Every structure is written in structure tokens, then in C-alpha cells.
Structure 1
């Protein structure tokens, strides 16, 4: 495949001032160090989904250098508008960074870079280089939120492939039982690394060839499909190897290199045959209008608004951790038949015997330092290797903002009915995403406590309707008691 840099003609000679956008780029890790420290840690994990981060940012810096100098067409009115937006975005970053809401902080930084370019050079220049300015999106944690859906999709597709070849296997969600062992399509088998890197390579090919929006969509769609197929084939081949070698092959333990070789064999030919177009010249034939030095200075000051707020705000006051006073019998641990959680990463967990067969778990954590999450990392609230989950079918009214699920032990008929909800800043929700957003009003109200409430009961019937009906009034009472405390 032949690719050509979008700026195919010789750009105007660069002066020292023309390289000032690169100085702004270098200032970002200094000004917004909390977010970049978190990203750097992920970029340095070579077996994780964002291990390409340093390389991608280096490519972005090089392409930004090649695209300079930008033509300045900013008016005074535009500078006022973009200046307000830039300062506002920087302040939003401070809130997200204080609560360690990484994704929103990272997206805000990409917006800050685009607004800084728009402030100095004008919105038309920022729009002209929109594809370049969006490239860093492939190096942030946005894609990690696809890990769960990709695992489920891999389990579904690989399960169908196993059924087609009729080998003796029992397929239970993301678990595949063969006569010689249990193969789990775990989080590391989602194919997220292949997915992100394929998208990033497709995006770079589109940029270098000067594709239109339609071309970007087509290339990214093809890249996504090829990445998914390569991961499904990888898992399917491993299952076949495990079956025919009775799980004795070394490939069952070390298959990282095998995955990358298969990914290259599928994706590299597609890259070679990607259509090549004649890129448009992004540099104007007319003389370049250059911004003044003080325009860069104003942009740097506006960018500093958020970091200034972050470092000047005091550290949260540490309060005594809530020890719930509830009219239930305390337990030292959950009974074995109800132990479905996988470890909640919370400060303290309390168990109570609510009624015959019903167990309450109240987990409490507190935000004690600047840049710490109020809602801690929760991960999976049940052990995916041992349990599968399905939404519960209920005919009665559930407690406000609570979720109802049925957990089933894999390879067994044991079922557990569950009601669960979160309390953040006195507000309740059943959604992890909403709980994270509730951190913002909780921060403004200086409320630094988070509570996770889980009610579980062993089901006597397959549909678990009776168990859920018994838990519902308990949940109503419990919600009132906790809010009163």
C-alpha cells in the first residue's frame, strides 16, 4: 500500500513562532499532570489495551509538526468565545480530575487542545484540522468501556463456531466446558487490544490518504470487523488446541504472540489493499497569516485555570467511616451459598442476616484525598467465572433506583435473587455510570461517602419471583434507614 502525507506539496517555511503549538502540546503533560500520570501508567502496561499510547502520541506530535504552520483567521469575537470555552473546559477538567473520573477528564483535554488551536488560529483552522486533532482519542480509556460487551460478543460468536463443528462441549455464556477442562473467555480475551489498534491504524490510513468523512467511516468499519474476526478465530483455535491436546499444549498458557501473529496475518493484507487517493493540499497558496506571540500566552493562561483550581483546593476532611446501625443480626461473613461477590475494592463491608435465607451486604468507602474517586473502582460485582447473570422478571414495584438480577451458578441450578443499589451524596441509583456522575454534585456538597447495598436470597423456584417479592419490602425499609443515618 502506498500512503502519502496529506500535505503533499512543500509547506511554507516554518519559523520559530510557527512551532509554538508544539510548545502548547508539551505543556499539557505539565499542566494536567494528574491525568497524564494515570494515562502513562496504562500506556506502560505492555499487555493491556492502551500499550500503544506513547507511540500514538509521538505519531500525533509528528503529524502536527508536518501540518504546521496553520493559517490564522481568528477574529476578536472568535477569540472571546473560544477563550470562554477554553477556560470552562479547563475548569471542568479540574472537577473530573479531583474525582478521578478519568474518561471525562481525558475527553476534556482533547477538547482543550482543539479549543486552544481554535483560540489562537480561529475556528475554521481548527475545523480544517479536525481529523488530526481527534487522533489522540485512540489513546484514552474510552475504549476500555467496550471490554465487557466485547467479551459477551466473543462468547456468543465463539460458542456458535463450537456448535457448528459438533465437538462435545457445554457452552454457558462466556464459559466453555470441554471433556478436558473449563475454558473461560475472560476480560483478557475480549480482543480489546486488537480492536483499538486496528481502529487507530485505519484512522491513520484515512488521514494520510486525505479521505472524506465517508471514507473514514468505511475504513474504521472494516478495521473493527477484521479485529473482531481475528480475536474470535484466536479463541476458537485455542479451544480446538485444548480439545485435541487434552489441554496439554503450551499454547493454552502462553498465546499472546500467537494472537498478534494471527492479527497481523488478517489485518496487514487489508492495510496493503486500502484504496489510495490523492490527498488535498491543506496549506494555502496565499501567504500564511501568523498569530501574535501574546495570543499563545493568553491561550496558556486560560489553559492554566483548571490546574490552578485543582492544586489550590484543599484536601478533603477525613470523617469517621459510617458504621451502619441496622436492626439486623450482624454476620462475620456471607454464607457460602450467597457468596457471589468478587471483591468490591471498598473500605469496609458489613454482613447482616435479614431473614431466613436473606443476607444484606453494606459496603462503605470514603474519599480521603484529592484526586481520589468517590465511587471506587467496582469491577465485577459478582464472580463471572462462577456465576452468570440475567435480568429478573418482576411484577411488583421495586425500590426506587434499585436493580433486580438473578445470579445462577454455572454448571448448576443454584440461583440467587439480588437487589442492589448505590448511595452517592445522599442520592440513590442502580447504575454505575449514574453513580459516577453523582460524584460531581457530591463534591460540590462536600459529601465524601459512598455506600453499596446488596440484598441476596437463595431462590426456591427457578424464576426467583418469590425471593424477589420477599426482598422488596426489606429494601424499602433499609433505604429509609440508611438515608436517615
Structure 2
């Protein structure tokens, strides 16, 4: 009689899986209950956003992928593995930092990582390896990608303008707004192609897993699913502009603008999957899973009682939201009003513009106009004494202007290096264009622990760490703005630099008065 091959998994004892599977399901449901606000926030985005509506399908698809492998998974012997507690603790710490900084997407990723960690803890490394892709697919449930909107808008605008010029059509461009002889166009959030990209990546990765067996083919098709929709969306935008231009602005506007977009995207996706089908390997057997005898830790965890391990996992996971709740319920200090005294040659003056920044939830806010001779500058200070939901220094709802504002357009925003008071620093610069032709140059930066910060990710991390370790997590947004002519921003930039240098000592004193030295 010949020996059994090494690749044949050892079957789990009869009656093992109902117990382990049932306890695991209960623990996963308990984690969903413990972190219900995080899960509910994730589901709320699925509900209101067409871009992320596919989130409803991710958990059922993951369960279906596991069900497809049920025969192979049933042969895996479940064993509690305490090494998973390290992942659970790390994900919990990440969730706490994300919650303290109100970074919902990181908190949601951490929540999904805790679900994966719980499976590892209760069912062991062998099961984790065997069900690796279905478990990793759960991360697609997190509605992530909005940070790509503005880069994708710029890519679309760059491609469209370049193609228009290459086909001999003159174009005048400011930011994501451009004009051609037949009409005016703007690349807004809906033109970014994020919806196409998210759908393509999710479907592409799933298709690659189901259709291919080699890692190389899966990786290449997944990369294609990321790159193709970006170019396809840029081509879609160019074609829509050309259809409207050639039809004297009668076609590709209104409802058919969106119809053409989805039809074009559907054709591109069909072509992508059709080309990918030439290299399909789904008729080949799945790669053999390594047997428990070949695993580095086949017997690790043997004899550990399941229920105490499950309880330990729930206790460890529950510590983070308890601490977060305590942080959230701390009383806020009483704050004096925020006031800035004139300095240098600057004196209070009436407002010169109807444009106002959109910063929300500030505990104290100051908006005042100063003038020196013919030069006028608007100053806005937004002070946040502590970071909490909808009252935080760095928030996606804090911006220069909302999309499709009827009176104002943001025609260019980015980080620039400027010189203020003899020192070089970075500021966020934006150029605002009003429907009446007024142009305004804006500089904005944040003060955290008296340091100038313009990187939002770094600011979020610093403030979250300060909040978690019970240090001061206050922050101040400083925004200054002045008119500039159509001929250029050099004079306006010099005005803002001089104003900032003159007023910074007074801003620092105002900050001391409101938060203490």
C-alpha cells in the first residue's frame, strides 16, 4: 500500500465544524454589534452613493466564494491561533486612531481587518490561507476612493484639452474649466470617472480570481482593470465634447450626456473581459493547498479551548470603542471669543467680495477684512478646540467652494511654496473666479502645536495621536484672500505675503487668548 501524498489535507473530525463555524459566526456578529456605528456608516454610503452601491454585494459574494470552496475548506482542521490577536490588536489601535481623527475610511478598513483577524484566531492559519481571497475581498466593501476625484478630474481635463488641441480646436483653459469656440465646458466630480474605476477594479479583481489560476495573470488583469477605465473615461469626455461641438451643441448634453458615458463604459468593459477571456484558465484545477503537515505550525494551538479564545478576542476588540466613547464624552472647555487686532499698516475695512470659505463646525470663527491703502485682504480663522465628528480641522466638508456653485468657480488649487517674513513655507493656494469677473487669490494653512501644516494626512495623524494620548488636539485654520487681476497673481501674492508677515504675531496672540499659552 502506498503512502498518501503530502498535498492531501487532513480531514477535520466529525462534528468539529458545526461548533467552530457557529462560534465564529457569533463572534463576527458580535464584532458587527460592537462596531455598529462604523458598519452603519459604511452601509449608509452604499445607500446614498451610486459609486459605492456595490458594497451591498461584497459580503454575499465573499460568502459565495467560501461556499464554492466548501469541500476543500471542510478538510481543514480548525485550530484556534492566538497569533491572530496581534492583528486584532493592531486593527483595533488603527480603528481608535481613525475614530479619534474622524477618518471614516480607515476606521472601516480596520473593522474589516478585525473580522479577518477573528477568523484567523478561531479557525487558524490553515483556514486563513485556504480562504485568503474571499476574506480579502471583504475590503472592497469599504467605500474608498473619493481622494482620487480631483486627480482624476485633472487627468480627464488634461487629456480632453490635449486631444482638442491635437484635432485643431482652439482651447482656453483655467483649472478644470475650458472654452472652445462652440461653448464652455467644465470637468466636475461626475466627470472624474471614479464610478467607472471603482466598478472596473471590483469586477476585474473578481474576474481575475475566477478565471485565472496563475498569480501573474491575475495580477496583470487586475492592473488592466485599474488602468483601462482611466483612459476610457478620458476618451469618453473627449468624445462627448466632440459630439456636442460637431452637432452645434445639440447632442451629448443633458440626459444623453450620461447615457453616452455609461454606454461607452459598458463597451470598454465588455472589450476588456473579452480580451481577458483568451487567457482563461478556469478549466484547470485549482492549485493544491499545502497540507497541514507541511505548514510551519500545523499543531500550534492544539488543545486550546475555543470559547475562552473567542471571549478573549471579544474583550480585546471591545476595549477600543470603550476608550473612544470616554474620549468623546469629555466636557469641552469654555472659550473666549476669537479676536485679532490690526497690525502694521492694516486697518479694518468693509468686505470686498461675496465669496466666503466653507469651513464647518469650528468652535470659534473670525472673518474680517483689512486694508492698507488700496490693498484689501480677507482673514478667516477657524479654531477647533478638540477634534470630533463634524467639528474637526481636517474635514472633507472644509473647502474653498462647493461643486457647481452658481456664483463662483475654483479655477486652480494646489500646494505652493511662498516666502513670508523672510521664511519659506508651503501654503494651499486657490484661484477663485466669480460670475461677475472678480478674481480672488487665496492662501490657506493650518496651525497645529504652533507649527504650520498643509499636508492633510499628516495633520490628521498628529491630531489623532494627540487626542488618543490625552494631549491637546486643538488646531487653527488660517485663510487669507485678496483680489487679483486677469493679467497675473504676482502682485496679489506679494500682498498676501506682506499681510501674513504683519499679522502673524497678532494671530498667535489671538490663539493664545483662546486656547492658553
TM-score interval, normalised by the smaller of the two chains: 0.7 to 0.9
Deviations 1:328-361 (A, max 9, x none): 35567x422xx65552234464222333222211
1:33/1:475 CA distance change after superposition, 3 Å: farther
| Deviation (angstroms), 1:198 | 0.6
| Count of equivalent residues | 469
| Match among 340, 361, 364 for residue 326 of structure 1 | 340
1:454 aligns with 2:468: no
1:16/1:393 CA distance change after superposition, 3 Å: closer
1:293 aligns with 2:299: no
Pairwise CA RMSD of aligned residues? Answer: 3.7
For 2:389 and 2:161, the matched residues in 1 are separated by 45
For 1:330 and 1:35, the matched residues in 2 are separated by 46
| Deviation (angstroms), 1:223 | 0.9
Deviations 1:42-82 (A, max 9, x none): 101243x212111122212322344453735768xx51x43
For 2:423 and 2:56, the matched residues in 1 are separated by 46
Q: Which residue of 2 aligns with 1:101?
A: 103
Q: 2:446·2:478 contact (CA, 8 Å) conserved in 1?
A: yes
| Deviation (angstroms), 1:222 | 0.9
Partner SS state of residue 490, structure 2: coil
| Deviation (angstroms), 1:178 | 3.1
| Match among 504, 507, 517 for residue 476 of structure 1 | 504
**Alignment TM-score, normalising by the size of structure 2:** 0.77
Deviating more after overlay: 59-68 vs 410-419: 410-419
For 1:471 and 1:155, the matched residues in 2 are separated by 34
For 1:235 and 1:27, the matched residues in 2 are separated by 46
1:435/1:255 CA distance change after superposition, 3 Å: same
Q: Which residue of 1 aligns with 2:207?
A: 205
| Deviation (angstroms), 1:393 | 5.6
For 2:106 and 2:428, the matched residues in 1 are separated by 28
Gaps of 5+ in 2: 1-8, 404-408
1:42 aligns with 2:45: yes
Partner SS state of residue 431, structure 2: strand
Q: 2:418·2:426 contact (CA, 8 Å) conserved in 1?
A: no
**Alignment TM-score, normalising by the size of structure 1:** 0.82
For 1:196 and 1:45, the matched residues in 2 are separated by 16
| Deviation (angstroms), 1:176 | 2.2
Q: Which residues of 2 match residues 71-470 of structure 1 at below 5 A? A: 71-72=76-77, 79=82, 81-123=83-125, 125-209=127-211, 211-249=213-251, 251-253=253-255, 255-274=257-276, 275-277=279-281, 278-281=284-287, 293-294=306-307, 295-311=309-325, 313=327, 315-320=329-334, 323-328=337-342, 334-336=351-353, 341-347=356-362, 349-356=365-372, 357-365=376-384, 373=392, 375-382=394-401, 385-389=409-413, 391-392=415-416, 394=418, 402-403=426-427, 405=429, 407=431, 409=433, 416-424=440-448, 428-444=452-468, 445=470, 447=472, 449-459=474-484, 462-464=489-491, 466-470=494-498
| Deviation (angstroms), 1:390 | 5.5
Q: 1:146·1:192 contact (CA, 8 Å) conserved in 2?
A: yes
Deviations 1:128-174 (A, max 9, x none): 54333221332324311111111111111111122222234423331
1:252/1:178 CA distance change after superposition, 3 Å: farther
Gaps of 5+ in 1: 1-8
For 2:128 and 2:506, the matched residues in 1 are separated by 53
